[in-house]
Each structure stands twice: as structure tokens, then as C-alpha cells.
Amino acid sequence: MSSVSKSLIQGMHEAVDYATNKNKKSAKSHAVHVPKEIDVKAIRSNLKMSRSEFSSHFGFNQRTLEKWEQGSRNPDRTARAYLTVIASIPKEVEKALNQ
């Protein structure tokens, strides 16, 4: 059996142990901080983009972006996480999306 196969099997056993509350102390987990609120307009403004440009560059619906900026709707947790990444490393996000 290859080392990759052994590693996959070991990982599967660890996942089962974790799921069944066995040996949770040895499992590795990572908490991700996603802000509860995010200033979408500030992110877009810092990038010096119009709503249309921001929407097309990062895959948002322009009307949704407008509602977020006006405060009539709030981004869900996944969108807030994505917006946080855009605010931090916009060029890398664009590069990843345009591959």
C-alpha cells in the first residue's frame, strides 16, 4: 500500500474517531473569524471600483451589492467571509477567479 493510501486511511479513521467523540484531543481544528458586520461600500471604495466593476470582478449581483451598501440587506456569513478576503487580498482573489 502506498504512503498516500495509508495517510488517507489514517485520516478517515481519525475523522470517524472525532465524529464519534473518541480521541477529540488529538484532532486538529481551526476556528475562522468571520465578522458579524462588514462595510461593503468601504471595501469597494478602497478598491476604487464602481458597483458594476466590483460586481463583475468578484461575481456579485449588482442589485444585491447595492442593497448591502444601502443597509436594506446584510451579507450572509459566507459572503462576509468572501468580502473579508477581497478586502485583504483583492488581486489574489481576482487572479484566482480568472484562471
Q: What is the pLDDT of residues 33-63, one digit of tens each?
A: 899 999 999 999 999 999 999 999 999 999 9
Question: What is the residue extent of each domain of the chain?
Answer: 1-30, 40-97
Q: How far apart are CA 88 and CA 95, in angstroms?
A: 14
* C-alpha distance across the termini of the chain, in Å: 35
Q: Residue 54 — φ and ψ, nearest 5°? A: -60, -45
What average pLDDT score do residues 74-98 get?
96
Nearest to 80 by CA among 54, 43, 31: 43
Q: In 3-state terms, the chain is what percent helix, strand and coil (to 5)?
A: 65, 0, 35
CATH number for the domain formed by residue range(s) 40-97: 1.10.260.40
Q: Which residue has the higher pLDDT, 20 or 23?
A: 20
Q: Is the pTM of this model over 0.85?
A: no
By CB atoms closer than 10 A (0-12, 13-18, 19+), residue 97 is exposed
